Amino acid sequence: MKSFDFYSPTEVVFGKGGEQQVGALVKKWGGKKVLLHYGGKSAEKSGLLDRVKASLKAEGIPFVSLGGVQPNPRLSLIYEGIELCKAEGVDFILAVGGGSTIDSAKAIGVGLGHPDEDVWEFYFGKQVQKMAPVGVVLTIAAAGSETSNSSVVTKVEEDGTHVKRSIDQDAIRPKFAVMNPELIYTLPKYQIGCGIADIIMHTLERYFSAAETLGNDLTDRIAESVLKTMIQYGPQYLATPDDYKAASEVMWAGSISHNNMTGCGNGGDFATHLIGHELSARYDAAHGATLTAVWGAWARYVMSENVLRFAQYAVNVWGCDFDSADPERTALAGIACTEKFFASIGMPINIPQIQSGVTEEDMAAMADMCVSRGRTAIGGFKKLSRDDVYNIYVAANR
C-alpha cells in the first residue's frame, strides 16, 4: 500500500427523518445561536425549513435566517452572511441545501473565524486558522461538500467578470451532515443529472492519478464500486426520484466520492474540475454539466500518459473486453462508454451543448484563468500547461 492520510471527521446521520435531530446535533457540537442558511423557496414549500426550525426550538436554540444562495454561490451573499452573524452573535452555521449552500456556509464560517480579514483571501491559498462550526441538512446529492474539505465560491467583479475559486483545507469540514434520501425526491431532472455527473467526476478525478502515486488496489476497488453503483442506480433515481433505494445509494455515493476515501494513496488530478470551473464562471453554467462537457476531450488528450490505466477503467467499470494487442482500443472504448452514459442522463458531452458561439478568444481567456494564481500547470495524471488547457477547450468545442 502507498502511504496516505485519511481524515473524515464529519458525523453522518443517514436515513428517514434525520432532520428532526438537528437541534440536538447543534447542541452536541456547541452551537448557542444559529444562522439558518439556505437557497430558494423549495426548502420552505416542502416544509423542511419548518421542521428544522421546530427541532431548533425544541432544544431552545435561537436562530436567524439568510436565504438566497444561488448555484455557483456568490461572495456578495457570503459577506452579507458574515455581517449578519456578527451583528446577531451567531456561533454556528446550519446549511440546509446542496453543495452551493454548504460551500457558502463554510465561507461564512471562515469569515467569522477571521473577523478582521477578508474571507476572499482564503480562496487564494491563505491558511484557515479557525472557523465557526458548520452543520448540514443535505437536499441535493452531488457535490459531496457535506463531508469534504472543499468550498467553491464565485466573485462577480465590477465589470461583470465571474471569478471562481476554492478552499481545499481540512479545517472547513462540517461537524455533522444529516442525510435523509427522502429530501432529494423533488429535484428537477436536470439537477439530478448534474448531481450524478458530479459524483462520478469526483471519483474519476482521484482514479486518474500520476502513475507513480498509484498502487493501492483497495482504493481502486472502492472507486470502481462507487462508479458502478452510480451507473446502476443513477439512471434509476433519475427515472423515479422517489425510489428510496436508488436515492439512498446515490446520496451516500456522493459523500464517499468526495471525502477522499476513493483517493487514499492516489495523488488525484482535478484538471477537469479546474477547466470546468472556468466554463461555469464565464457562462454561469451548472457545475456538473461543465465537467461532462470537457471530460472526454481531457481523457483523449491525456490518455497516452498511461493507456493501461484507462484500459483498466474500461474493463473493471464498463465491462469492456481487454485487447492485449491494442490496449488503446480498450481505453477509447471506456471513454466512449462514459460519454454515452453522460448523454443518457441528459448531460452535455461538448461545450456547444452548454454554450454556443464560444470563440478562440474566449477559450484563450479561460485557459489563462485556469493556470492563474501562480500556477504554471494543472493536473496530476498529466501536467497540463496553459497551451494544453487551450487545446482541450478547442477539442471540447467541436
DSSP letters spanning 199-249: HHHHHHHHHS--GGG---HHHHHHHHHHHHHHHHHHHHHHH-TT-HHHHHH
Kindly report, residue by residue over 283-293, the tens digit of the pLDDT.
999 999 999 99
Task: Indicate whether 89 and 153 sit together in one domain.
Answer: yes
Task: Indicate whether 177 and 220 sit together in one domain.
Answer: no
* R_g over Cα of the chain: 21
Task: Indicate whether 49 and 146 sit together in one domain.
Answer: yes
* Average pLDDT, rounded, for the chain: 96
Kindly report, residue by residue over 98-139, the tens digit of the pLDDT.
999 999 999 999 999 999 999 999 999 899 999 999 999 999
Indicate whether 4 belongs to any domain.
no
CA atoms within 13 A on the CB side of 30: 5
Q: In a 3-state reduction of DSSP, which class is residue 49?
A: helix
Task: Indicate whether 342 and 205 sit together in one domain.
Answer: yes
Dist. CA 156–CA 284, nearest whole Å:
11
Indicate whether 137 belongs to any domain.
yes
Kindly report, residue by residue over 323-362, the tens digit of the pLDDT.
999 999 999 999 999 999 999 999 999 999 999 999 999 9
Determine the average pLDDT of the residues in 35-55: 92
Dist. CA 295–CA 169, nearest whole Å:
25
Task: Indicate whether 256 and 364 sit together in one domain.
Answer: yes
Which pLDDT does position 259 carry in this prediction? 95
Dist. CA 98–CA 145, nearest whole Å:
8
Question: Which of 183, 217, 251 represents a domain boundary (last residue)?
Answer: 183
Does 373 have pLDDT greater than 80?
no
Domain harbouring 109, CATH code:
3.40.50.1970
Dist. CA 295–CA 1, nearest whole Å:
29
Residue with the three cell numbers 487514499? 264
Task: Indicate whether 228 and 338 sit together in one domain.
Answer: yes
Dist. CA 199–CA 181, nearest whole Å:
16
Query: pTM for the whole thing?
Result: 0.95
Question: Which of 149, 168, 183 represents a domain boundary (last residue)?
Answer: 183
Which pLDDT does position 354 carry in this prediction? 96
Indicate whether 257 belongs to any domain.
yes
Kindly report, residue by residue over 154-168, the tens digit of the pLDDT.
999 998 888 999 999
Total domains in the chain come to 2
Task: Indicate whether 140 and 206 sit together in one domain.
Answer: no
Percent of the chain with pLDDT over 70: 99
- What is the total residue count of the chain? 398
Does 41 have pLDDT greater than 90?
no
Task: Indicate whether 248 and 172 sit together in one domain.
Answer: no
Task: Indicate whether 366 and 352 sit together in one domain.
Answer: yes
Which pLDDT does position 214 carry in this prediction? 87
Dist. CA 65–CA 2, nearest whole Å:
45
Does 376 have pLDDT greater than 90?
no
**Beta pairing class for 162-168 and 150-156:** antiparallel
Task: Indicate whether 207 and 306 sit together in one domain.
Answer: yes
Which pLDDT does position 42 carry in this prediction? 83
Indicate whether 347 belongs to any domain.
yes
Q: 105 near 134, Cβ under 8 Å?
A: yes
Domain harbouring 293, CATH code:
1.20.1090.10
Task: Indicate whether 284 and 352 sit together in one domain.
Answer: yes
Task: Indicate whether 349 and 376 sit together in one domain.
Answer: yes
Kindly report, residue by residue over 199-231, the tens digit of the pLDDT.
999 999 999 999 888 889 999 999 999 999 999
Domain that holds residue 237: 189-396
Indicate whether 2 belongs to any domain.
no
Q: 36 near 173, Cβ under 8 Å?
A: no
Which pLDDT does position 213 carry in this prediction? 85
Indicate whether 25 belongs to any domain.
yes
Question: Which of 151, 183, 215 represents a domain boundary (last residue)?
Answer: 183
Percent of the chain with pLDDT over 90: 92
